[in-house]
Chain A
Amino acid sequence: MNHPSPVPPNITRQAEPARPAIRIRDLTKRFGGLTAVDDVSVEIKHGEFFMIVGPSGCGKTTLLRILAGLENVSSGTIEIETPHSQRPVNSMIFQGDSIFPWMTVWNNAAYGLKMRGAATATIKEVVGHYLERTGLTRFAGYYPHQLSGGMRQRVSIARAFANDPEILLMDEPFSALDAQNKLLLQEELLRIWEEHKKTVVFITHSVDEAVLLGDRIMVMTAQPGKVKALVEVPLPRPRDVMELQKTPAYGELIHRIWSSLRDEVQRARQQEATKDIES
């Protein structure tokens, strides 16, 4: 099978077309009378680490689920460039525990490859590689209940990367972790991502995380979710999460995004409050 090796030559990257990896046009999603995503248009470049921040309930998870093919759109279009026909379009890293409790770490990480019938040798090589990158080699035969929350989320990361998709979708993957684990996993994620620089769409409600990881940040409004601002993050890569936090550019970006987000968070809180009174 001509599955791409874990470290493909750089030539493929240079030959990439100049068209965007993902083109979202006039996307709207309604659930009954409630508009979750309202007329969102954005283009995401190949190899871009694209962050979406917004207050809770702003429809960012819905947007990601639409990209993942788990929800239908009400109107508008999404185009995802797929230059490699044998690759799956996307793999998602879910929020919270999503690895199967009944499979070992190895079988969890191999799930995507197994589902598309990859050759045994390929599975062995690719899964072995990503378990090593996530520091899980020693735990390949463990079941999830024997692992800590941080390690379980590493398995989820390995599973998505091992599937070798065109785009990676991440739905607040670190929100359930404690501060130390979060920092470690952010660093690890960046290290693994640097290998191939795949297109990433990453959702978070943490402004720090958005700036630390992203190339560009889309700020969404409170419900109904619209695009409020698109902010470039001109920080150099590879990034050192710890060092970055000391630079003035980092602080300035945090400030800019916060000031754009603050009103929306307030609005979301008022919406929550009225909902509570109504119900």
Chain B
Amino acid sequence: MSVQTISSQSDAAPRMSARSRDMLLNIASPLLLLSVWEVCARFGFIDTRFFPAPSSIITTMMGMLSSGELVTHTVVSLERLAYGTVLGSIPALVLGIAMGLNRPIRAVFDPLIAATYPVPKSAILPLALLIFGLGEGSKVFMVAIGVFFPVAINTTTGVREINRIYLDVGQNFKASRWNTFWTIALPGALPVIMTGFKLGIGIGLVLIAVAEMVGAKSGLGYLIWSAWSTFAVEQMYVGLFVIALIGFLLTVALNELERVIIPWKAE
């Protein structure tokens, strides 16, 4: 009879944990891309009129930062995004929960949402400009429209997917309509609603950039558009970079928020 020994060698002293290796690679990959870009730009492998060297983009960004120009545009865009998100998500939540809990309401609004949802939101911009004019209204409206659909649809789904037994419990313990809403429907649907929010804010960010390109005098979309008309390519890249950064930071923030407000979600 022979005894097989399972060696613990491979597990004993890993040179680096998988997690820290991932982190290193995460940081290394964009840095590598930027270096290759920089080298290509310096040696003339790529046309710097369209792809200016990262170093020159950074220099432009520093200048725009110290002049306060970049901060102003960023703040304006973020404000519009915030107002639009609030204005779009509140009716979406109310309608979504009503549709989730009430069959006739669902029957009324389902076809309306199904018909309007596939319309590309950017195609509504001219109409928004007609109705709300060139001011803040049209920008905020565009964001609100973008946020509304995913939040409303996900809220309906979230409420409908709540296990039937929880509603039975609410009924058995004589929960009022109000309490059914606050203690069962809303918390039960919250994980799915959060996914809707993440989607919605992503769409909102796209739409705010588009809306600011037409008939705006401020904001990151305007910044990019005016850079095109003056052929200030570095400035254009700065605008793109800031939008990308906002998108990234919002995702991180929303994931963090989700962890805080949905503590029951199993890790």
Contacts and interface: CB of A to CB of B under 8 A. Distances in A.
> Real complex partners, A and B?
yes
Interface of A: 68-70, 88, 90-92, 94, 96-98, 100-103, 111-112, 115-116, 143-145, 159, 163
30 contacts: A69-B172, A70-B171, A70-B172, A88-B174, A91-B172, A91-B173, A92-B169, A94-B165, A94-B169, A96-B165, A98-B166, A98-B169, A100-B166, A100-B169, A100-B184, A100-B187, A101-B264, A102-B187, A102-B188, A102-B190, A102-B262, A102-B264, A111-B169, A111-B183, A115-B170, A115-B179, A115-B183, A143-B264, A145-B266, A163-B173
B79 to A, nearest CB: 33
Given A100-B187, A101-B264, A102-B188, A70 B173 contact: no
B11 to A, nearest CB: 29
Contacts of A163: 173
A111 B173 contact: yes
Contact of B174 (A103, A115, A144): A115
B82 to A, nearest CB: 27
Contacts of A111: 169, 173, 183
B263 interface: yes
Given A69-B172, A88-B174, A101-B264, 20 more contacts: A68-B172, A69-B171, A92-B169, A92-B172, A96-B165, A98-B166, A98-B168, A100-B166, A100-B169, A100-B183, A100-B187, A102-B187, A102-B190, A103-B187, A111-B183, A112-B173, A115-B173, A115-B175, A116-B174, A143-B264
Interface size bracket, B side: 20 to 34
A77 B213 CA distance: 70
Contacts of B184: 100
B176 interface: yes
B264 A144 contact: yes
* Interface SS of A by simple majority: loop
Contacts of A143: 263-264
Contacts of B264: 101-103, 143-145
A70 B165 CA distance: 11
Interface string B255-267: 0000000111010
Contacts of A97: 165
Contacts of B169: 92, 94, 98, 100, 111
Nearest to B179: A115
Interface string B188-200: 1010000000000
Nearest to A92: B172
A159 B175 CA distance: 14
Contacts of B165: 94, 96-98
A93 to B, nearest CB: 10
B176 A115 contact: yes
A90 to B, nearest CB: 7
A92 B167 CA distance: 13
Interface in B208-266: 262-264, 266
A67 to B, nearest CB: 11
B264 to A, nearest CB: 4
A89 to B, nearest CB: 9
